[in-house]
Amino acid sequence: MLGYFEDIDRKLELKKKSMETYERGLDLDIPPIKKLEIPYDGIKMAAHLRLPSEQGHFPLIICLPGVDSTKEEYHAFTEVFLKRGIATLVLEGPGQGETWFSRVMTDDYEVGISTAIDYIETIPEIDKNKIAMYGRSMGGHLAPRVAARDSRLKAVVSAGGIYEMSYWDGLAEGVKHNFRHAWGYDTFDEARERAMQTTLEGIIPKIQCPFLIVHSRNDKSFPAAGAERMKAEAKSETELLIYEEGTHVADNIRYKYQRYVSDWILTKLQV
């Protein structure tokens, strides 16, 4: 389903099927997974909330998917946080997953996520003073944008994130399709113009909370140089972790980086 563009109707059909299939098991989880529909500017953003237990007042990590990934893919990773007593909210903003059907990814994506934080603060089980954010791939570009805008975040993680996209012409065709689709364009030329304007320049220095940057030297899509640039421009407490053997978002060594990220969040939220 992901990265499949030979038949767009089939792709969207499979996307809907995967969402429907996952939803059939929400009530079977312990505690049950809560599906949220968060209002924003006339649409509803889809999210899954998981709590460590049925009773309590928990810190929260908001997880942002990549350019063509979904909330359903986060199930295993959220388990890592739950074991540490941290609630998880996997949120699909404009252009992502289920929310894509309502709105493509806009230039002001982070505004919608701040609106979601407003909503999250009303959930009784969540400690609104202990909210952090994690983003993978394109989410690793978007999470710093949110943190730069919204001081309510107590920590932020960019994993395999994008600083800028001047290397667009060298990306694999499938990766270009992912961005074209999320941004709502019909052609690569339109997507290329948008890519050339995609940058964190001037944004990273505005982040005030602790900032963890995770990347892989062997990432074939998004160079580690972007992560190094984030570190160089950051003004807040910042850590850069580059795995020499890692592939994109270190997915080949998840047992290393996911444990490290969750422990780092645990420390910064002072659970």
**Average pLDDT of the residues in 108-114:** 97
Q: Is residue 157 part of a domain?
A: yes
**Average pLDDT of the residues in 68-95:** 96
pLDDT band at 271 (very low <50, low <70, confident <90, very high): low
CATH of the domain at 52: 3.40.50.1820
The total of structural domains in the chain comes to 1
Range of the domain at 158: 28-268
204: exposed, middle or buried (C-beta count within 10 Å: 0-12, 13-18, 19+)?
buried
Q: Is residue 17 part of a domain?
A: no
* pTM attached to this predicted model: 0.95
- Percentage of the chain modeled with pLDDT above 70: 99
Read off the tokens for 95. Answer: 């252009």
pLDDT band at 204 (very low <50, low <70, confident <90, very high): very high
Q: Is residue 18 part of a domain?
A: no
Q: Is residue 36 part of a domain?
A: yes
Dihedral class, residue 261 (left if φ above 0, else alpha if ψ from -120 to 50, else beta): alpha
Q: Is residue 3 part of a domain?
A: no
Give pLDDT tens digits for 171-203: 999 999 999 999 999 999 999 999 999 999 999
Whole-angstrom CA distances from 235 to 130, 146, 155, 202 are 21, 16, 13, 11
Q: Is residue 84 part of a domain?
A: yes
Is the pLDDT score of 2 beyond 70? Answer: no
Query: Are 138 and 66 in contact, with CB atoms under 8 Å apart?
Result: yes
Q: Is residue 172 part of a domain?
A: yes
Q: Is residue 11 part of a domain?
A: no
